[in-house]
Amino acid sequence: MPVRRAVCPGSFDPVTNGHLDIVGRAAKLFDEVVVAIGVNASKSRLFTPEERIAMLEETTAGIANVRVAGFEGLIVDFCREIDAVAIVKGLRGAGDYEYELPMAQMNSHLTDVETVFLPGAVGNAFVSSSLIKEVATLGGDVRGLVPDAVLEQLVRRLAERTA
Ligand code: PNS
């Protein structure tokens, strides 16, 4: 039987508990899941590609059929390169759907790679990397919304930035 491989793409700057919920659930649906971290150099990020890859490797280490990779260029080209049949994305609400649907349709126009949408867990509906960074920057408590190891790195990075 061929391996049914899926990709969970994102910026993961940083990875949140919402992302990890989707990756863990995708790992139950597919033989292998590759977390694909967009490393497009033009965007300014809080964490480097290497740091984001390391954070994902650490936080998904307990899931045997998950691996982590960086990618540049089109996600569908990466999918073709690694022989993935699907892109898995989480939807927190209608706003995510509006944003994701044209991308899914474009990716479907470009290739036969399917997009599979999973509903985000209710408890993570408000969790995004950008809000986490904003709240943490302004001194808010984001414990429980990101893995503990990520929280430590986030606090350290923000302290370095304000020093
Ligand atoms: O976590 P994000 O920022 O929502 O992730 C966005 C990402 C990296 C998944 C998306 O921008 C992407 O797929 N980029 C790769 C470039 C690409 O394929 N663009 C065309 C999409 S139709």
CATH number of the domain that 92 lies in? Answer: 3.40.50.620
62, 86, 59, 125: which is closest to 3 by C-alpha? Answer: 86
Residue 150 lies in a domain: no
Residue 156 lies in a domain: no
What's the average model confidence in pLDDT over 20-39? 97
Q: Whose CA is nearest to atom 7 of ligand 1?
A: 10
How remote is the CA of residue 92 from the centroid of ligand 1, in Å?
A: 17
Residue 99 lies in a domain: yes
Strand order, beta sheet including 114-119: 66-71, 32-38, 5-10, 86-91, 114-119
Per-residue model confidence as pLDDT tens digits over 151-161: 999 999 999 98
Atom of ligand 1 nearest to the CA of 73: 16
Residue 155 lies in a domain: no
pLDDT at 42 over 90: no
pTM of the model: 0.96
Residue 112 lies in a domain: yes
How remote is the CA of residue 36 from the centroid of ligand 1, in Å?
A: 10
pLDDT at 29 over 90: yes
Q: How many CB atoms lie within 10 A of CB 103?
A: 14
The DSSP code for 124 is G
Whole-number pLDDT of residue 40? 81
Whole-number pLDDT of residue 135? 97
Q: Work out how many domains the chain is built from and give that number.
A: 1
What's the average model confidence in pLDDT over 48-60? 97
Residue 160 lies in a domain: no
Residue 134 lies in a domain: no
Tokens of 125: 């509906």
Q: Whose CA is nearest to atom 4 of ligand 1?
A: 10
Domain that holds residue 88: 5-125
What's the average model confidence in pLDDT over 79-92? 98
Residue 146 lies in a domain: no
